[in-house]
Structure 1
Amino acid sequence: MKTYNKLKIFNDPIYGFITIPNSLIFDLIEHKYFQRLRRISQMGLSYLVYPGAHHTRFHHAIGCMHLMQKAVNVLRFKEVTISDDEEKALYIAILLHDIGHGPFSHAMEHSIVNGISHEEISMRFMQKLNKEFNGSLTLAIQIFKGNYNRPFLCELISSQFDMDRADYLKRDSFYTGVAEGNINSERLITMLNVVDDSLVVEEKGIYSVEKFLVARRFMYWQVYLHKTGLVAEQLLMRVLKRAKELTNLGVKLNASDALTYFLNHEISAENFDDKTLDIFSRLDDTDIIAAMKEWQYHSDFILSNLCDMIINRELLRIKLKNKPIKASTLDKHINQLIEKYKISKDDAKYFVFIDEISNQAYQAENQRIKILQKTGKVVDITKASDQFSIKALSKPVTKYYICYPK
């Protein structure tokens, strides 16, 4: 029987050497469910805008676990009690927090399955793994759900400043080359503390928090909501929508067995059972790309053109506006397309459409970032900061866009 050294080291381009803290974490990383994350891109189709953005959910999950190790060490140094079981649970929860992402991450979250978020699918993966690992994920699941009796542990997993955001901002800015998004996550973690079982940032870390929020705003407008990325994402959602329509009409499409299953079945939270979970675990970016490479030559006008646009990066034109797009503008572009290609209005709507995007860097109404002042008083970042921009960042900004063929 083979024996493995389970305390291996990863060499990460962001943080350098990352150690695996225990053998259970090693076994979870080795599991096929987690290894699948190597084949799920962290930023969907953003590489069509930023060629370097080919990093994966696997990179991100390992990075989050590393930052969680730093956070635990910092808090223990400040005499915050964290038991060995809680420590292990934190590492498991943050490692597996994104395990439920489908192909191209957020781009296809509501295309392959309906009415069930990636967080809910992550939870189902964790429950399945918990059975496999004899209940050793029970506490991690409690913390992940946010119903553990020590709120700060849940906040380290999911809050306005958690280890997830601390990693993805730094990592995504590195791989895209967008320097404005680069944050000093280690400095921020060093400033963490706990008051009344709630996570706070010490006052001397306030400028790092301001930088974090401004960086988040930059990254959303420049990267996550970049107009070219938006078009590509919308086209990808429409590819799946059209593929499902054709399949329902009895048209046979070449696709992997896993993708074919989701084309043939309407999956929602109600019927997402263990069998569906297992088939979902076989889906990754490769299934979608391979399918689109085939479908770009299909006889269906809509499917072939949508796939061709993504594969060869010949995307739709997009215009962003500060005010809602007029119905007359939308109709004009739809009618032009109908006239040119002699297609129906419903078909034309695959290529001409309007939508809106919203960005709110700081959501002051829930899970606030709390600043621990030297006096011992805890206040919200908007009150502690002398930066007018922080108050502005807590207001949502909405933009409207229209897409149509060039």
Structure 2
Amino acid sequence: MNKLKILNDPIYGFITIPNSLIFDLIQHKYFQRLRRITQMGMTYLVYPGAHHTRFHHAIGCVHLMQQAVNVLRFKGVTISEEEETGLYVAILLHDIGHGPFSHAMEHSIVNNVSHEEISLLFMEQLNEEFNGSLTLAIQIFKGEYPRKFMYQLISGQMDMDRADYLKRDSFYTGVAEGNINSERLITMLNVVDDALVIEEKGIYSVEKFIIARRLMYWQVYLHKTGLAAEQLLIRVLKRAKELHDLGHQLQASKALMYFLNNKISTDNFNGETLNVFSQLDDYDIVTAMKQWQYYDDFVLSKLCEMIINRNLLKIKLKDKSIKAKTLDKHIASLIRDYNITKHEAEYFVFSGSISNQAYQLKTTRINILHKSGKIEDIIRASDQLNLKALSKPVTKYYICHPKGKL
């Protein structure tokens, strides 16, 4: 069977599957599940085109990694065939642990289990099934492989993950500000002392990349309406879990019921849990919400109805944290109008904060390689004064409450 297939991608055109291991991993049910996980969660309620999936993104990342390997080899960086495959596997599977709607699960029906931890569990399980052929990929993914630049290609300030999702999310949302020149960025890559650098000629592309990241976060990833929708979804799952714990008989798919029945944390996320998690996707949540909107619980039914009909909460962004008396005023109003408890009202009235930091000085930096051989951080190398400002986190505070009658 020919496993070196070609896929047609709307961003890059034709993408070639590099070897039979990558093909077999793509064919695996764990990876095929990513076709049913939306890349951008609830963002389609703001940008109607944002229906692309984690599957699209992972394939795109492999394509960019192929380009990166070719560029680095051309510049004299030694990358063995085993290392090359390790890089492809690690980037292909870097997001395999995402739950339904990407981030909502992490904050609701599992207790602080990150998608990175679940990705690693999937990779270890697949490594058993594929007779140890993912061992090197797992080392690279965990940052344990001695060649540091390989980890930076998977998870760094300018990795293949970001190079794909900025361009892809920009395309599907129609937000042109995020459209980076990933091909030029990759062409400018090099390795010095086993660390990734960008050649001086690529400095303007890096500046554009950092600015694009900031704009995409404010305009898309942290868009206030998308934020309000995601917070509602988190509260739907929390309320369902709460009702289930109180003895309510909720209807849901077998996979979703497992997570309602069990308190899942990092300590007990075992093989059985992983197998059930691999059956869980966006469709389980949407189907459950379509049923729960008619359930005899004011909070759960209203929350589900609001998401399904896109009748979302009003959300305001502020520069200062929200005062308790502002929240109390809205809560009191809800208690009075609907004869519900304070605890129930808090599902519809709440505050929080969001933070945007386009460039993180404390993590792996983006280093520029000058023609003289000197290496310096992009902030020092750039004549763009605002890049330094972009390295400082900007925090905004939000309050959500009903627009009028629920």
Q: TM-score range by the shorter chain?
A: over 0.9
Query: For 1:196-345, what aligned pairs fall within 5 Å after superposition?
Result: 196-345=193-342
In the alignment, which residue of structure 2 is the partner of 1:364?
361
Quote how far apart the aligned CAs of 1:110 are: 2.4
Contact 2:292 2:304 (C-alpha < 8 Å) held by counterparts: yes
Deviations 1:106-126 (A, max 9, x none): 122222311211001000000
Quote how far apart the aligned CAs of 1:237 are: 0.4
Query: For 1:102-117, what aligned pairs fall within 5 Å after superposition?
Result: 102-117=99-114
Deviations 1:126-181 (A, max 9, x none): 00000000000000000000010000011000000000000000000000000000
**Distance (whole Å) between structure 1 residues aligned to residue 51 and residue 214 of structure 2:** 22
Deviations 1:294-315 (A, max 9, x none): 0000010000000000000000
Note if 1:147 corresponds to 2:144: yes
Residue 76 of structure 1 aligns to a residue whose secondary structure is helix
RMSD of Structure 2 on Structure 1 (CA):
0.5
In the alignment, which residue of structure 1 is the partner of 2:158?
161
Deviations 1:249-288 (A, max 9, x none): 1101110000000001010010000000000000000000
The partner residue of 1:130 within 122, 127, 130 is 127
* Most deviating of 106-115 and 92-101: 106-115
Which amino acid in 1 is paired with 2:129? E
Residue 74 of structure 1 aligns to a residue whose secondary structure is helix
Which amino acid in 2 is paired with 1:336? S
**Distance (whole Å) between structure 1 residues aligned to residue 210 and residue 82 of structure 2:** 32
The partner residue of 1:85 within 82, 85, 92 is 82
**Distance (whole Å) between structure 2 residues aligned to residue 151 and residue 113 of structure 1:** 32
Residue 319 of structure 1 aligns to a residue whose secondary structure is strand
**Distance (whole Å) between structure 1 residues aligned to residue 235 and residue 257 of structure 2:** 16
Residue 17 of structure 1 aligns to a residue whose secondary structure is strand
Residue 91 of structure 1 aligns to a residue whose secondary structure is helix
Contact 1:29 1:35 (C-alpha < 8 Å) held by counterparts: yes
Quote how far apart the aligned CAs of 1:326 are: 1.4
In the alignment, which residue of structure 2 is the partner of 1:170?
167
Please list every run of 5 or more consecutive structure 1 residues that lacks an aligned counterpart in the other structure: none
Note if 1:378 corresponds to 2:375: yes
**Distance (whole Å) between structure 2 residues aligned to residue 284 and residue 343 of structure 1:** 32
Note if 1:47 corresponds to 2:53: no
**Distance (whole Å) between structure 1 residues aligned to residue 358 and residue 187 of structure 2:** 22
**Distance (whole Å) between structure 2 residues aligned to residue 294 and residue 375 of structure 1:** 65
Contact 1:108 1:236 (C-alpha < 8 Å) held by counterparts: no
Residue 200 of structure 1 aligns to a residue whose secondary structure is strand
Which amino acid in 1 is paired with 2:276? I
Quote how far apart the aligned CAs of 1:191 are: 0.3
Residue 336 of structure 1 aligns to a residue whose secondary structure is helix
In the alignment, which residue of structure 2 is the partner of 1:30?
27
* Most deviating of 187-196 and 321-330: 321-330
Contact 1:93 1:157 (C-alpha < 8 Å) held by counterparts: yes
**Distance (whole Å) between structure 1 residues aligned to residue 302 and residue 204 of structure 2:** 49
The partner residue of 1:95 within 87, 92, 95 is 92
TM-score by length of 1: 0.99
Note if 1:62 corresponds to 2:62: no
Contact 2:313 2:401 (C-alpha < 8 Å) held by counterparts: yes
Quote how far apart the aligned CAs of 1:58 are: 0.1
Which amino acid in 2 is paired with 1:211? K
Deviations 1:340-365 (A, max 9, x none): 11111111000000100000000011
**Distance (whole Å) between structure 2 residues aligned to residue 290 and residue 348 of structure 1:** 25
Quote how far apart the aligned CAs of 1:220 are: 0.2
* Most deviating of 128-137 and 318-327: 318-327
**Distance (whole Å) between structure 1 residues aligned to residue 164 and residue 90 of structure 2:** 15
Quote how far apart the aligned CAs of 1:13 are: 0.1
Identity value in percent: 77
The partner residue of 2:6 within 6, 9, 24 is 9
TM-score by length of 2: 0.99
In the alignment, which residue of structure 1 is the partner of 2:394?
397
Residue 105 of structure 1 aligns to a residue whose secondary structure is coil
Residue 287 of structure 2 aligns to a residue whose secondary structure is helix
Residue 190 of structure 2 aligns to a residue whose secondary structure is strand
Number of paired residues?
403
**Distance (whole Å) between structure 2 residues aligned to residue 301 and residue 404 of structure 1:** 16
**Distance (whole Å) between structure 1 residues aligned to residue 175 and residue 305 of structure 2:** 28
Contact 1:243 1:263 (C-alpha < 8 Å) held by counterparts: yes
Residue 54 of structure 1 aligns to a residue whose secondary structure is coil
